[in-house]
Structure 1
């Protein structure tokens, strides 16, 4: 049973509801055009529900961060979000100025207002406790104007930032539908895991995958962990194979040199549980060359090999629960997309319950036409990884504390 409130616990009719969402979207650096409206569509359900229930809905979100070429205002986001929701989403180009406050106070039941990109506000970058964040200018400025705070930004739930946790100690707070679904589906799958359970972990964030590997093998959740991407290269090196200086230097440049000893220890602690490729695909003059791990040339490893894919696919198809996060290789290049595509295909054709982490592998699933073949595609890579690694999510802890605080006052 959830320890946090949901929308069902509040009567929002005629009330002003501040909702944190995550509509951080890819933006063309030259034209400024939003390239993908997936996250807008994900949050549309919660936004529309609040509007139809008569709430005066105020939306708070972020886009990129200062200094990046996709750091921009929310003018275009409001237009795209209006289409996704099927309702007019008003936009004000400030966060807590008198103009923003007047726009909030002027809302009628059912209307929706999107405030400016919250990362234009410097305190948003700080990571503090909910009690400390409650003293921020943002919270002090907006909390007197709202009745409820709803957090629907699961993708950012692992962060303890002002807009994510600051309001929870000041006003009654709840999880939105996206947050509620993510926590329920992933939580239930982890608590009631069906065996054999397989984790397919790839991508460039090797420390995350190694952290998850250790957690799920220690607690008995996983029967096998299939590694690919950069994490596979580290495990191959840790297992005593010569991956050559090009790949060793890349691992060191990414700051993962200390992970080699960690992986060596995991291989010893969990024999036969961590499956790393027995062949890999390297880039030789721009072309794909599959080689065994005993014969890796001094060239970049860009994918797992075809023979390893046969083994990986067999294990996946026999699994009853599958968690997947991160692509198997440089899937943007068609020559090195085979690993990612074959793993996704194996998951889609498996009868096991499948959960796909957010980010690149989620996009690859959709692009390959397998989106509806997966039981759950998460909206948040970082947050889902933290859940799989057994780490608490700061924003969820804040919602739980808020429920205890305000429910006890009633």
Structure 2
């Protein structure tokens, strides 16, 4: 491990803890999600070890509908921690300082949304952030800083990168486990086959991941919009926009040369879908072999059943499987066959596995699987992509200092 963790932190201190509780907001109501459950593990440990805990987190961005107070977050976190969690509508002003001073062993206090502070958001060097009034005011109120927000670690914001330069800094349990799992594909040695399931909507992400990991991964199994673009590069009449959609053509123009080059150089490592699913005239799922497509006239919303049958044995013969992105529009049960099918194959396999990539991991719960059936289910989106492409995460790098 390249940074200090909670194992290195003496019990009973006053700590400033950065979580990532950013959540969907529907009609003004903050929605509970897996991030609360994960971060609650860190908070429960700190409470059990008699720490005095103040929590920082962000929600939304200024100007957006989901830019709201963290008052509801405090209540949701309390349910997961199974302990009282207080809230103060201030981040580093007099009210916040007063409440922090009153903390006792086992207390948890949530400070107001960090993005309501002018000095939080601009992407600036850690050295600049460390000198902000925000950081300089709070640093003297605590014995240590704990960053548990791996999923936000690619952001150079004050609450994430400023404090480690002016305080003793440690990784929380989420930061620790996410870092270990998400860097495993680059840092671990596997004796057997390594497989990566890659899909989603962003071709650039897929290409960057595949390019960086081409020597570490034996088999890439493709789906989603990115997979359809690779089929286009292989000569199939798919991967085009129809009905005024804006999903494929602009990504093709931007990435076609890279996709074709990747396919030429690594064709033996890349497995493409053999059939695709769409909604027929009566609203039910229909499937079509890619060899039988003469022209794209429907929107393809999932890989087909034959594709899942081809992908599953590859997964079951792997020592390690990594998932980045969904293979179809799994939120609609009709088009969940691809995503749920590969996840079920992974769950049935005794392999090292990491599932991540935005909302993909939600399919595990939606389709009756348990996170315990997988090695690690990441709650990170952008940070997960950066880890897979070998990019440094500034929030991790400052902890390493």
Contact (CA 8 Å) 1:58, 1:115: kept in 2 or not? yes
Q: CA deviation at 1:9?
A: 1.6
Contact (CA 8 Å) 1:279, 1:304: kept in 2 or not? yes
Q: How does 1:107-126 map to 2 (within 5 A)?
A: 107-126=103-122
TM-score by length of 1: 0.91
Contact (CA 8 Å) 2:239, 2:249: kept in 1 or not? no
Query: Aligned partners of 1:291, 1:347: CA distance in 2, in Å?
Result: 25
Contact (CA 8 Å) 2:225, 2:248: kept in 1 or not? no
Per the alignment, residue 262 of structure 1 pairs with 258
Per the alignment, residue 221 of structure 2 pairs with 226
Per the alignment, residue 46 of structure 1 pairs with 42
Please tell me whether residue 372 in structure 1 is matched to residue 369 in structure 2. no
Change (3 A) 1:253 1:62: farther
Q: Cα RMSD between the aligned structures?
A: 1.9
Regions of 4+ moved over 6 Å: none
Q: Deviations over 1:336-382 (max 9, x none)?
A: 11111111111111222111115322111122222221121112122
Contact (CA 8 Å) 1:244, 1:298: kept in 2 or not? no
SS in 2 for 1:258: helix
Please tell me whether residue 167 in structure 1 is matched to residue 163 in structure 2. yes
Which consecutive unaligned segments of at least 5 residues does structure 2 have? none
Per the alignment, residue 52 of structure 2 pairs with 56
Q: How does 1:41-120 map to 2 (within 5 A)?
A: 41-120=37-116
SS in 2 for 1:302: strand
Contact (CA 8 Å) 1:92, 1:113: kept in 2 or not? yes
Structure holding more helix per residue:
1
2:206 equivalent among 193, 204, 209:
209
Per the alignment, residue 196 of structure 1 pairs with 193
TM-score by length of 2: 0.93
Contact (CA 8 Å) 2:185, 2:216: kept in 1 or not? no
Q: Deviations over 1:153-189 (max 9, x none)?
A: 1111122211111111110101011111122233345
Per the alignment, residue 322 of structure 1 pairs with 321
Query: Aligned partners of 2:46, 2:323: CA distance in 1, in Å?
Result: 32
Q: Deviations over 1:260-304 (max 9, x none)?
A: 221100011112111111221233444433222241532212111
Residue-pair matches, total: 395
1:153 equivalent among 139, 149, 171:
149
Contact (CA 8 Å) 1:246, 1:299: kept in 2 or not? no
Q: How does 1:357-396 map to 2 (within 5 A)?
A: 357-370=356-369, 371-396=371-396
Per the alignment, residue 343 of structure 2 pairs with 344
SS in 2 for 1:72: coil
1:17 equivalent among 15, 18, 26:
15
